[in-house]
Amino acid sequence: MHTGMQGFRLGVVGCGAVGSTFAYTALIRGLAGELVLIDANRNKALGDALDMSHGAPFLPPCRVVAGDYPDLAGCQVVVIAAGVGQQPGETRLDLLRRNARVIGEVVPSILRHAPDAILLMATNPVDILAYQAYRISGLPVERVVGSGTLLDSARFRYLIGQELHIHPRSIHAYIVGEHGDSEVPIWSGATVAGTPLADAPPLGLPPERRAAIFAETRDAAYRIIAAKGATYYAIALALARICEAILNNENTVLTVSTLVPRYGVYMGVPCVVGRHGARGPLPLALTEEEAQALDRSAAVLRQTIAELGL
């Protein structure tokens, strides 16, 4: 499984719930021949590396090491999951000032030792921090990617699938815009087997069900954080999917966060993800209502960026 990926090196900066769960997911999926774990708490990274390494007999060959920034040399992708976690009741945008300081230190430290790496931002608020990383890194925009609305789109597809009794892999539907409260569901583009969703069964959802499904999609993180303190399993899978697309040079379409020239901000949009990073955004056929909602989402992000002074 994934034997062609044994030569790849993946770096993870930040071994909190998201970073360590991503590293474990990458290990299980055989995404790399070497995983480098870095955390401000060196013992946490060391403990994770040892714990994962002890599963070696059950997995494809992979060396898991705890290190420091010089150990990132040669990494093709570095996942940035460093920062402070979202607290119950705290919005993603409330996190901004605390995490922007962390990212301002982390990005230059990575690039000093891994100047050719693709940076994959996972820390929230992900669109703002991916934009910050892009601005301070000097890298081409393709090489600074945020996890964007890939997780939101997965939640959306899951919930639509639950309603229609169809596996989410067969549901094609996107959430775009901010990874957060202003995100936008593209109902007009949602399809099953190429057939647009209608308002009635068997491939239909009435307006009230659509509203409920979107509300559950948008508010999923708050519900999970209230229940157990953090979200990490599904975002780890989303990050692994992005890394897989990059390392395999898949040129697959994923809703990651990139710079949208029309708005001048990073936000989740369909992009072509491969060894180059993320190329996009791809054009979206939106209704007038969806286009206006996306304009509002961009305005939220622009205002936040202005408040941060980026």
Residue 87 is predicted with a pLDDT of 74
Residue 92 is predicted with a pLDDT of 61
pLDDT, mean over the chain: 94
Report, as an integer, the average pLDDT of 57-70.
Answer: 96
pLDDT tens digits, 125-160: 899 999 999 999 999 999 999 999 999 999 999 999
Per-residue pLDDT band for 93 (boundaries 50, 70, 90) equals: low
Which of 42, 89, 25, 113 shows the shortest CA–CA distance to 222? Answer: 89
pLDDT tens digits, 40-60: 999 999 999 999 999 999 999
Return the minimum-mean-pLDDT range out of 4-18, 35-49, 185-199. Answer: 4-18
User: 240 forms bridges with which residues in the sheet?
Assistant: none
Q: Would you give the distance in Å from CA 276 to the centre of its chain?
A: 17
Q: What are phi and psi of 176, to 5 degrees?
A: -130, 170
Q: Would the pLDDT of 91 be above 90?
A: no
Q: Which two tokens stand for residue 208?
A: 């009230």
CA distance 172 to 304: 31
Which of 215, 85, 92 shows the shortest CA–CA distance to 148? Answer: 92
Contacts of 210 (CB under 8 A, 6+ apart): 185, 187
Contact (CB, 8 A) for 95 and 83: yes
Residue 4 is predicted with a pLDDT of 44
91 versus 121: the higher-pLDDT residue is: 121
Q: Would the pLDDT of 18 be above 50?
A: yes
Contact (CB, 8 A) for 151 and 159: no
- Give DSSP secondary structure letters for 46-109: HHHHHHHHTTGGGSSS-EEEE--GGGGTT-SEEEE--SPPPPTT--GGGGHHHHHHHHHHHHHH
CA distance 296 to 287: 14
User: Would you name the residues annotated as active-site residues?
Assistant: 179
pLDDT tens digits, 226-280: 999 989 999 999 999 999 999 999 999 999 999 999 999 999 999 999 999 999 9
Domains (range + CATH), the chain:
3-146 (3.40.50.720), 150-308 (3.90.110.10)
Q: What are phi and psi of 198, to 5 degrees?
A: -105, -170
Q: Which two tokens stand for residue 298?
A: 């961009």
Contact (CB, 8 A) for 188 and 292: no
Burial class (CB in 10 A: 0-12, 13-18, 19+), 266: buried
Report, as an integer, the average pLDDT of 168-197.
Answer: 95
Contacts of 39 (CB under 8 A, 6+ apart): 13, 14, 15, 16, 19, 45, 66, 82
Share of the chain above pLDDT 90, in %: 86
Q: Would the pLDDT of 19 be above 60?
A: yes
Determine if the pTM surpasses 0.75: yes
Q: Which two tokens stand for residue 240?
A: 């692994």
Q: Which H/E stretch holds residue 268?
A: strand 265-274
Residue 3 is predicted with a pLDDT of 39
Q: Would the pLDDT of 31 be above 80?
A: yes
Per-residue pLDDT band for 175 (boundaries 50, 70, 90) equals: very high
Return the minimum-mean-pLDDT range out of 82-86, 184-188, 298-302. Answer: 82-86
Burial class (CB in 10 A: 0-12, 13-18, 19+), 49: buried
Q: What are phi and psi of 277, to 5 degrees?
A: 110, -130
Report, as an integer, the average pLDDT of 26-49.
Answer: 97
Report, as an integer, the average pLDDT of 103-115.
Answer: 97
Per-residue pLDDT band for 1 (boundaries 50, 70, 90) equals: very low
Report, as an integer, the average pLDDT of 275-294.
Answer: 96
